[in-house]
């Protein structure tokens, strides 16, 4: 019989049990479903199906609210939608839950850079690049180089691009960034050499051929420039790159001795 026991005493064990369950976090089944939905959301994001990506990732977050990977992917989905404020919010949430999350630091740096917040962006790229557990430091070093280049700091930009290549000597964008800094400093021969190395390690990367063609124009080497622009045309399906390469070729052909 419990007739004379206060209701508060009857409810207390139930409340304590519920609180303990909530503190224990999501069940294994909920985590498993959250992971499956996150993976599906990432697939939709890769396919640029942003409404479906958002739906799956939001549901994943409801199932496993403590998961920083879900927060990061939500941030990337908001970035794809052009909502930089929400993207920043979710990426910061991911970092708060996992301070050494290299991908989240790198992506947050990208969001800040898109807002012109170069000093803040550089700090995030540095945090990612300096993390020994980060699997792709070349991305963060390259992004840091871009941030320094936009801040008109060529010395640090060059250093960051070289560190990117030190981390991964086949990372083609870093060669182009390094060549751009060298060219800005009037070091066109060095820029040509850097891009020559790039097309050796990444022969199918059309932007490198395009960039080397421009450098050869600067160096007054029309034959080499024509060859590079033709190679870029043969490799690329990008309409803007193809149009630019064709334009250079037309100008070079006009100036060719008859």
* pTM flag (> 0.85): no
Tokens of 219: 């160096």
Does any domain span residue 178?
yes
Does any domain span residue 21?
no
If you ran DSSP here, which 8-state letter would residue 27 be given? -
Does any domain span residue 106?
no
Contacts of 14 (CB under 8 A, 6+ apart): none
Does any domain span residue 19?
no
Quote the strand ranges of 58-99, DSSP E: none
Does any domain span residue 194?
yes
Domain residue limits at 188? 169-258
Does any domain span residue 15?
no
Into how many domains does the chain fold? 1
Does any domain span residue 163?
no
Contact 241/209 with Cβ under 8 angstroms? Answer: no
CATH code of the domain in which 189 resides: 1.25.40.10
Does any domain span residue 175?
yes
Contact 141/178 with Cβ under 8 angstroms? Answer: no
Spacing of C-alpha 212 from chain mean position: 24
From first to last of its 258 residues, what are the pLDDT tens digits of the chain?
445 544 445 455 544 444 444 455 678 999 999 999 999 999 999 999 999 999 999 999 999 999 999 999 999 999 999 999 999 999 999 999 999 999 999 999 999 999 999 999 999 999 999 999 999 999 999 999 999 999 999 999 999 999 999 999 999 999 999 999 999 999 999 999 999 999 999 999 999 999 999 999 999 999 999 999 999 999 999 999 999 999 999 999 886 654
């Amino acid at each position: 019989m419990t007739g004379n026991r206060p209701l508060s005493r009857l409810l207390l064990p139930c409340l304590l049990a519920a609180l303990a369950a909530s503190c224990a976090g999501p069940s294994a089944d909920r985590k498993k479903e959250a992971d499956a939905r996150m993976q599906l959301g990432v697939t939709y994001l890769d396919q640029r199906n942003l409404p479906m990506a958002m739906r799956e990732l939001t549901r994943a977050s409801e199932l496993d609210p403590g998961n920083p990977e879900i927060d990061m992917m939500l941030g990337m989905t908001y970035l794809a939608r052009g909502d930089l404020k929400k993207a920043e919010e979710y990426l910061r949430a991911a970092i708060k839950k996992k301070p050494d999350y290299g991908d989240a630091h790198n992506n947050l740096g990208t969001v800040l850079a898109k807002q012109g917040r170069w000093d803040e962006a550089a700090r995030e790229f540095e945090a990612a690049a300096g993390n020994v557990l980060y699997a792709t430091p070349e991305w963060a070093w390259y992004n840091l180089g871009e941030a320094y280049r936009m801040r008109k700091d060529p010395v640090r930009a060059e250093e960051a691009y070289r560190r990117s290549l030190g981390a991964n000597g086949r990372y083609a964008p870093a060669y182009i960034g390094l060549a751009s800094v060298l060219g800005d400093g009037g070091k066109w021969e060095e820029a040509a050499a850097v891009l020559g190395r790039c097309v050796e390690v990444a022969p199918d990367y059309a932007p490198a051929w395009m960039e080397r063609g421009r450098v050869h124009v600067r160096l007054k080497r029309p034959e080499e420039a024509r060859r590079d622009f033709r190679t870029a045309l043969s490799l690329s399906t990008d309409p803007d790159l193809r149009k630019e390469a064709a334009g250079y070729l037309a100008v070079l052909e006009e100036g060719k001795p008859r």
